[in-house]
Structures are given as C-alpha cells and as structure tokens.
Chains A and B, each alone.
Chain A
Amino acid sequence: MPDLSSSQICPGCGAPLPEDSPQALCPACLLRQAITSGTIIAEGATATAGPPPAVEEIAGKFPQFEILECLGRGGMGVVYKARQKSLNRQVAIKILAPEREHDVRFAGRFAREAELLAKLSHPHIVTIHDFGETAGLYYLVMEFVDGVSLRDLLREGKLEPQQALAIVPEICDALQFAHDHGIVHRDIKPENILLNRFGRVKVADFGLAKLIAGASEIESGQSAPTAPAAEDLTEAGRTMGTPNYMAPEQTKNPNQVDSRADIYSLGVVFYQMLTGELPGKRIEAPSRKVQIDVRLDEVVLRALEREPERRYQQASIFKTQVETIASSPPREEPPYSKTEGVQGPRFSRLAIVGAVWGGICVGTLLLMFAA
C-alpha cells in the first residue's frame, strides 16, 4: 500500500514531488488519472439510439428464456442476461441492430454469418449457442461470461505489465483460431475483451462488425448485392464509436480489411493496457511513458505499423514475441527513477483474478449506490 502521508514522493508514480505541486499532489499523476478515465467517459458517452427495450418487453418475445436483466448496450446491439429454462444455464442474449427489423437482405446475411460464427469453438472466444429471429428481432444466444470487460479494468488506468502480458497471448490465441477459420473480428477493443472470474480471456463479438456493416459478401469472394456496404459501415462505425482502435486501412477502405486489421487493433489495446493511454498521432514508445521492458516497445510498435505488410502477419507470431519477453529477464531503460524497482513482467494469473474481482466488487458497489 502506498504511504499517503509522505510529502516528498508521489505514492502513485514514485517520482519525487515537484516543489510547486498543487496541494502537494503529483501534477503528472493528477493529469494522468483524469486522462485515462476521461477517454473512457468520452467514448462511453457517444451517441446511441434510444433506450434499450425493457426486460418485460423482451421477455414476451423469448418464452424459452427467463430474461434477468439488461447488461448493456453497445454498438452491436443490446445484451440481456437470461436463464435458458430447458438447460437451466445462464446465457447472454444479444439483440442485433433493432433497426434492421424489416431489412430482408440483412436476414439472409445474418443467417449465413451467424452460422459461421457459431462454429467458432475456442476457450478464449465467447461461444455462440444459438441464433435466430423472433418477432422481427435478430438475436444471438451466447455464453454468459461472469466477470468484467477489459474496459472495466482500464477505467481506473493502466494495468500492471505482467497482467497485460498474460492477457495478450490469450487474445492472440482467439484471433489466430478465428483467422484460421476465415473470420476477422474487425472490432477488437477493450469492451469486447472479457475476463471471467478466473482471469481467463473471452473475446466477444467476433465478426459482428462485418455482419452489421454488410461487407460479408465482398470478403467471401462473392459480389455484394446492391448494398452500399461502405456507407453502412460508416453508420455502424459511428454507432460503435471506436475509431480509436481501427487500423488505418479499415478507416479508409472497410471492405478490404484482413486479419492484420485485428493485429493493429490489438496493438492499440496492448498500448492502452501498458500506458493507460491511446497511442497518439505520433506514436510514442510505451517505455517513454511508463517503466516497462523496452523490448515491449518493438512488439507494440510493430503491431501498430500503418502498413499491414509491416505488422505481424499472424496473431501467433505476435503471441510468441510477447511470451518470449514475458519469460525472460526484463530489459529496462527507465525514463525516470522510481523508489521501488518494478518487477519484471511475469505471467500472473493471480494478479488478473484480483483485478477482475476488484472490478466486480467496485461495479457491484456502484450499482448498489446508484440504486
């Protein structure tokens, strides 16, 4: 625990307090705390359509489920926690793009894509149990992940390097598996990276960006019907509000992206986990912002290359690089000295489990408070 009574050293970053610190608080940490959370608030506050349908409203449409609560609304739709009566198991029901209710073309694409996605069975990918359409609503029944999203963890700032180093390889596994099955996620971001109570990664919403955006036919080699795919994606992109994580080529030409766009997005997420910040226009090496193994700079910056050809070509290579660093002694060139030595990055499942539980506890408490 940091000593809050000491007036010489910042309990947050361990650097000596400047003489002119406002209220004897470390100015850099004051600002850092506001920035990390601010980014998140700004994103969370992006415009979404009206309020999600009430639990009672949805319950009538899904008699085979007991709808328990609305878990939230994202760019891809509204998610409810439910109990599947027949199997007595908890599931998450995602209602996709309610505005597509009467879109016939969407119906066909939805059936094709959902079937593909339901075949993705991997320990680090949120399983799709079922999908369908009821009363004009397209829905996916998914594995319910009891835990928190990476976004919840990042809400309070950066992660410890060893936490990030344990999370990234599991995301890589999920991506490589999906890429091998011809599926690009297209919307890797902290909201879609879930951590269960054991600290295991579960990546959600594979392929949904494409499904919603309507670019599926192009990538699978079939010609698009008359759908103005790019415009659709812009629309979906705006609703999602996550351009910060998009690869440059994805912004420019959404129809032409391949698996390397996911590598880029993971690079952004990795950068944010390490530094608590999104990479700026001129990307600064993470080790210049925080004290970490300098070899991580190379990995992160490679994933963030603007040209897809210069990035890691496979998620598995990305994973190997991260694991190599995690399993060997750290190399540090600290930008500033700290009072305590930073531990070398190590796999620490315990640290993630702790963070996940912390996130759950704070979340529950806030919910109670809000209620």
Chain B
Amino acid sequence: MSACNSPSTLFATTRWTVVCDAARGGDSRAVEALGALFGTYWQPLYRYARRRGKSREDAEDLVQGFLAHLIKAQALRGTGRGKGLFRAFLLASFNHWMINEWKYASREKRGGGVTLLSFDWESAETSLKLESADERSPDKLFDREWALTLLRKTLDDLEAACRAEGNTSQFENLKPCLTLDSSQIPYAELAARLDMTEGAARVAIHRLRKRYRHLLKEEVARTLSSPAAVESEMQSLFAALSG
C-alpha cells in the first residue's frame, strides 16, 4: 500500500475519475488510484465508525477490511459515472459494509493476505469527544471531517511546496491571509515582519492565495467524477463546515 502515502508523482492517477473508468474496464490502475485516495481520506471513515459506537479495535478492523473489500474490486465494479462523489460513494459503501458484510467476515480472516495499513490510528482519535453530546449526526460530522481532511491535505501540500522553495518562514507568516478578505490583511505589518516592501508582500500574498486556491480546487477535483462539479462540491463542504 505504498500508494497510500500519495506522493505528488501519483497525482495524475489518483483521481476518482480514474477509479471509475479503470474499474469499469477491470484495470488494475483502479486499485492503485483508490489506494492513494483512501490514504488521504480514511480518517473521516474511522471516526465515523467510532461515532457509530464501534470500539477502537473494531473501527480499525472495519477500515482495514473495508479497503481490502474495495480492492477486491467487487465493490468497484458497479462504479459508473453516476457515482459522482468519492465522498458519497465511500460513506455509502462503508455503511453497507459495516451493516451487512462485516458481521459475516470473521475477524481472523480479515487482513489475511492483505498488508495491514500503516495508518496512524492514534492520530485519528484526537479530539473525537465521543462522550460529549453532539446533536449533529455522524453523517454530518463525516462531511465536516472530510472537508477538514481536504483542507489539511491542501495546506500540507502548499507548505511542502513553499518549503521546497526555501520559503518556510514566509508561509508561516502569510498563511493567515488565506482566511481573510483582502481588506482585512495587514499588509504593512506583514511586510515589516518579513522584512519586505509592502508591494513585495502584496505580491507574495496574492501568489500564495492563488496557489492555495489552485491546489484546493485540484484536490476537490480528485474526489469527483466530473470537474464541472468542483464549485458545487466546495459549496457543500462549506455548508458542512458551517452547519
């Protein structure tokens, strides 16, 4: 499952479109691409299972077994153009798996012959707050965490790109601008902090914002079967964060 690390070289082949198209043709690329996508978005599933009352061990088993089940391609065969959102597909299939199939599969069998995923299960437990009453449904929280995962991935990619260019400190100082309207950005203050002219700071901020938007849209597009739906998926994710 090295694809789970999702290096940028895999980028072009890790789109949900590739999974759908390749799965229809029985192509092995479907599995590879799915693995890479799964590597980014497994955490919301794990937390979903936890919120559905599964123990840590069971949730780990469920996620492990679910990916193995998907990879056997049985579940993918039916993926066509209709399965527009990877997010929706994953949650629906996972629910199905959790309710119907998992209970028949014996614990011993699970993982047999399949390399266990080296996910950081511990990190997926962070601030799960199962004990506190949250009126939002696990489905809603899944969408919210999906949006957070997507944003985290985008920002990490952006940070890595800036670091590679030797601009780590610039990224650290300017990243709050990604959440601000331009009228709210304290250009002079940031320029002083970075020892730049205000003009240079404005340009740097503009470029960072542009790059961020590009990366975010690319990441959203990875999870869709049609690039035309990027905007509406972004609206849905925004709604999930606001709700």
Interface residues of B in 222-243 (CB under 8 A from A): 230-231, 234-235, 237-238, 241-242
Stretch at the interface among B105-113, B114-122, B181-189: B181-189
Given the interface pairs A4-B176, A38-B231, A365-B202, the reply to whether A22 lies near B152 with Cβ below 8 Å is yes
Q: How far is the CA of A311 from the CA of B186 in the complex (A)?
A: 41
A147 close to chain B: CB less than 8 A:
no
Decide: B159 and A23 in contact? CB cutoff 8 A.
yes
Interface size class of B (residues with CB under 8 A): 35 or more
- Number of chain A interface residues as a range: 35 or more
Is B217 an interface residue, CB under 8 A from the partner? Answer: yes
Contact call B127/A1, Cβ cutoff below 8 A: no
B91: chain A residues within 8 A (beta carbon): none
CB–CB A19/B127 < 8 A: yes
CB-defined contacts of B127 to chain A, threshold 8 Å: 19-20
Partner of B179, one of A33, A365, A366: A33
CA distance A22 to B151 in the complex (A): 7
Query: Are A33 and B180 also in contact (CB < 8 A) when A25-B155, A27-B241, A362-B206 are?
Result: yes
The answer to the question of A26 belonging to the interface, with a C-beta cut-off of 8 Å to chain B, is: yes
Report the separation of the CA atoms of residues A31 and B155 in the bound assembly, to the nearest whole angstrom: 12
Taking beta carbons and an 8 Å cutoff, which residues of A are in contact with B? 1-2, 4, 10-12, 19-23, 25-35, 37-39, 41-42, 156-158, 160, 277, 280, 289, 355, 358, 362, 365-366, 369
Interface positions of B (Cβ within 8 A of A): 126-127, 145, 147-148, 151-152, 155, 159, 175-176, 178-184, 186, 189-190, 199, 202-203, 206, 209, 212-213, 216-217, 230-231, 234-235, 237-238, 241-242
What CA separation (Å) do A40 and B201 show in the bound complex?
A: 23
16 A-B residue contacts at CB 8 Å? A1-B186, A4-B189, A20-B148, A22-B148, A22-B151, A23-B155, A32-B238, A33-B178, A33-B181, A33-B213, A34-B212, A35-B234, A37-B209, A42-B231, A156-B182, A280-B235
Other-chain contact of B237, A22, A31, A38, A158 (Cβ < 8 Å): A31
Assess A365 versus B199: contact at CB under 8 Å? Given A33-B178, A34-B216. Answer: yes
A30 to B127 Cα, complex, angstroms: 21
Number of A-B contacts defined by CB within 8 Å: 109
Say yes or no: A12 contacts B179, CB within 8 Å: yes
Contact of B189 (CB < 8 Å), options: A1, A38, A157: A1
Q: Are A31 and B238 in contact (CB under 8 A)?
A: yes
Point out the residues of chain B lying under 8 angstroms from A369, CB to CB.
Answer: 203, 206
Which of A12, A41, A280 counts the most chain B CB atoms within 10 A? A12
Q: How far is the CB of B169 from chain A (nearest CB, A)?
A: 14
List, in ascending order, chain B residues with CB within 8 A of A33's CB.
178-181, 209, 213
Q: How many angstroms from the CA of A28 to the CA of B242 in the assembled complex? A: 6
Are the CB atoms of B181 and A25 closer together than 8 Å?
no
> What's the Cα separation between A358 and B202 when bound, in Å?
12
Whether B186 lies near A30 (C-beta < 8 A) is: no
- Cα distance A1–B183 in the bound complex, in angstroms: 9
User: Are A22 and B126 in contact (CB-based, < 8 A)?
Assistant: no
**Given A25-B176, A35-B231, A38-B231, A358 and B183 touching (CB < 8 A)?**
yes
Complex contacts, B237 vs chain A, CB 8 Å: 31
Given A38-B217, A277-B235, does the pair A30, B179 have CB atoms closer than 8 Å?
A: yes
